[in-house]
Amino acid sequence: MRLRLVIILSIIGLAEYYSFIVVKSSVRNLPSIWRTSLMALYLSFTTISWLGLILFRAVNWAALPHLLRNAYIAFVLGFVVGKILILLVMLVDDIRRLLTWLIYSLTYYNSPVAETAAKIDRSTFMKQAAIVLGGVSLVGFSVGITNRYKYRVRKMKLSFASLPEAFKGLRIVQVSDIHTGSFDNHDAVAQGIERIMHQKADIILFTGDLVNNIADEVDDKYKEIFSRIKAPMGVYSTLGNHDYGDYVQWPSHTAKKENLEKLKGVHAEVGWRLLMNEHIVLERGAEKIALVGIENWSAKANFPKYGDMNKAYEGLPEKNIPFKILLSHDPSHWREEVIAKFTDVNLTLSGHTHGMQFGVDSKWFKWSPVQYVYNEWAGIYKEGEQRLYVNRGFGFLGYPGRLGVLPEITVIDLV
């Protein structure tokens, strides 16, 4: 733990040092008044950013005007990521200069003047590149807040040999990570719900994190909006790590338990069948498949393991159920337990990662910092005959926006 803290503080210190050097170098040729003003502005922004991070838990962010809060968070994230990018560029340049110096020291006693001039030009270019990247980050995260309600519908067809004939063509819509407490626009959310309903799903499945922390985030207006989600075969849901109220201080254990019971009631009020370590059997004619839903189960130490697959399987007539769909909020559950112990689960649906709400998410290339924590973080994955789909999330948390990874409505046709 101490080593990790030292590493983090070292990275922060280097990022601040290099950023200061790059900014100072960028303004050094300006008139004195401009140079002084811009440096003072940069130092002020740095101070404001760090005050927000240091006092994060002490600030009642929910009470702040949404526009002010969103702009501030976007600015701080863009500022911090920009400094990290500056650090990376400048480290590359310093390593290059060190290697060049070593080569010339070992090979020549006197380096040619032309080479020295070239080195200076390259360093200037790297500083300019670093400041541009920092600016792009700041602008990018600021623009990203305009994407938070730009829902993207992702469609795919999945083929399974064990799927009963009667269920071929079954259309599933998956929604995950709504995070109601982060929303600031009822109408925009309602438009997202309309897009869900336009998909004409046979069944709709929600894979957890209806709220950030407390059940009261789902006010009467949101209850009315979420109750519009309907499907012929029903709407089924499960819980995510944020639904348990683990990230806020409660006056008592009883208060926390009452909040969870209230949230369960919200699922019922809007017409969603909440699966708590249990299963249901879906029938079409004489053929059947099973829908299994468990509470949050994570392979990561920082997240809870409330899920119980054995309990969810109790009473399930396995011989008569050739196909099973599992709702499990955290995708790390799939590799850690599902494909290792429950090989009869054909399709697992998860969420949780949000694709970190930041990255490159195209048809040809996918990247996000979250992939260094989760092997499966967005889209479809396959292991043998088992599949996992990780939804990128309907809502947002922390950063009030989406940069490169848009909110998602998933449509899966079983064929």
> Whose structure tokens read 């789909």?
389
pLDDT at position 95 is 87
Identify the residue with better confidence: 117 or 343: 343
Place of tokens 């140079």: 35
Domain spanning 150-414: CATH 3.40.30.10: no
CA distance 174 to 78: 31
Q: How far apart are CA 16 and CA 11, in angstroms?
A: 9
pLDDT, tens only, 367-378: 999 999 999 999
Tell me the domain boundaries of the chain. Answer: 2-145, 150-414
Looking at the DSSP bridge assignments, the partners of residue 292 are 279, 326
Q: List strand residue ranges (DSSP E) for 131-214, in order.
A: 152-158, 171-175, 203-207
pLDDT tens string 14-48: 999 989 988 998 888 899 999 999 999 999 989 98
Distances (CA, A) of 331 to 55, 101, 291, 326, 363: 32, 48, 17, 11, 21
Question: Which of 54-63, 75-84, 114-123, 127-136 is the most confident on average?
Answer: 75-84
CA-to-CA dists, residue 114 to 32, 111, 120, angstroms = 32, 9, 10
Residue 393 near residue 191, CB atoms below 8 Å: no
Q: What is the pLDDT of residues 177-221, one digit of tens each?
A: 999 999 999 999 999 999 999 999 999 999 999 999 999 999 999
Q: What amino acid is encoded at 312 in this protein?
A: A
Rounded to an integer, what distance in angstroms lies between the CA atom of residue 308 and that of residue 190? 34
Location of structure tokens 């119980």:
308
Angle at 296 between CA 241 and CA 182, to 5 degrees: 25
Global confidence as pTM: 0.87
Q: What is the DSSP secondary structure assignment for residue 148, as one 8-state letter? A: T
Give tens-digit pLDDT for 366-415: 999 999 999 999 999 999 999 999 999 999 998 999 999 999 999 999 99
Q: How far apart are CA 271 and CA 260, in angstroms?
A: 17
For residue 171, what are its two tokens?
């259309």
* Res 352 pLDDT > 50: yes
DSSP E strands in 223-277: the ranges are: 235-238, 273-274
Average of per-residue pLDDT values in the chain: 91
